[in-house]
């Protein structure tokens, strides 16, 4: 059995547990907190399938906080197991759920990493391919974006470890410099467009202008 098949079986198991939980609540079972647990479980299962299928569901910023919430739940459950007298059935259930939740927490935490191609839109993937081609031909790349209030100068370089964006932002009251590193060009494109308003076309125009100037 390969790792991908094992992950799919794990996701199927969690999905089955979720269905059983829904049936139990509909039948009148469970505690007052059961709907909350069910909601968290449903979100976790969605994230788990997204991680396995390498597809982005919902917002990437929500998955790591959810992983932290589940991790806190595991710690609380283990604290109850160690400090309170429990029936054998409840003890078995809490230990089993805690053990299985550890893998779920790890996967959701990894899934919440924004620096992955699975979170990129189709436009960002296309732009990433164009940026990759430009970097392969001429690195580093530099582009400048100006508006009425500020100027953003961005230099992008590629190395074996990934990509680096060096940003110089000039405003009326001064300037700031910062750098960001990424493993994938799709995330770099997202960052550039969202935080600097620089697009791949700006790099292309800058490269063409330098080429004409050299001639």
Q: How is the chain classified by DSSP, letter by letter?
A: --HHHHHHHHHHHHHHHHHHHHHHHHTT-S-TTHHHHHHHHHHHHHHHHHHHHT---S-GGGHHHHHHHHHHHHHHHHHHHHHS---HHHHHHHHHHHHHHHHHHHHHHHHT-SSSGGG--HHHHHHHHHHHHHHHHSSSEEEEEE-SSEEEEEEEEEETTEEEEEEEEEETTEEEEEEEEESSHHHHHHHIIIII---HHHHHHHHHHHHHHH-
Using alpha carbons only, what angle is made at residue 43 by residues 95 and 190, rounded to the nearest 5 degrees?
125
pLDDT, position 20: 83
pLDDT, position 10: 84
pLDDT per residue of the chain (215 residues) written in tens, 0 to 9: 577 888 888 889 889 888 887 887 787 765 666 677 788 888 999 999 999 999 999 999 999 999 999 999 889 888 888 888 877 877 777 787 788 788 889 999 999 999 999 999 999 999 999 999 999 877 789 999 888 778 899 999 998 889 999 999 988 888 899 999 999 999 999 999 999 889 999 988 877 655 544 44
User: pTM of this prediction?
Assistant: 0.83
pLDDT, position 50: 95
pLDDT, position 86: 77
pLDDT, position 210: 55
Which residues have C-beta within 8 Å of that of residue 150, sequence separation ≥ 6? Answer: 169, 170, 171, 172
Domain boundaries, the chain: 3-113, 119-214
- Tokens for 99? 């053990």
pLDDT, position 27: 79
pLDDT, position 215: 43
pLDDT, position 129: 94
pLDDT, position 212: 47
């Amino acid at each position: 059995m390969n790792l991908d098949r094992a992950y799919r079986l794990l996701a199927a198991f969690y999905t089955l547990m979720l269905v059983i939980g829904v049936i139990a609540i509909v039948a009148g079972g469970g505690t007052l907190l059961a709907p909350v647990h069910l909601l968290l479980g449903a979100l976790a299962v969605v994230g788990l399938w997204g991680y396995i299928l390498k597809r982005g569901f919902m917002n990437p910023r929500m998955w790591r906080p959810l992983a932290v919430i589940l991790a806190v739940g595991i710690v609380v459950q283990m604290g109850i197991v160690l400090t309170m007298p429990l029936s054998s059935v409840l003890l078995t259930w809490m230990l089993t759920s805690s053990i299985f939740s550890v893998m779920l927490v790890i996967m959701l935490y990894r899934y919440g990493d924004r620096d992955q191609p699975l979170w990129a839109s189709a436009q960002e993937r296309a732009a990433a391919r164009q940026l990759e081609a430009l970097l392969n031909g001429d690195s580093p790349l530099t582009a400048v974006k100006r508006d009425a209030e500020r100027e953003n100068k961005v230099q992008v370089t590629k190395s074996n470890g990934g990509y680096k964006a060096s940003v110089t932002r000039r405003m009326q009251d001064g300037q700031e410099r910062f750098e960001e590193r990424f493993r994938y060009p799709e995330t770099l494109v997202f960052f550039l467009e969202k935080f600097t308003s620089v697009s791949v076309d700006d790099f292309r125009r800058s490269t063409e202008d330098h080429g004409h100037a050299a001639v």
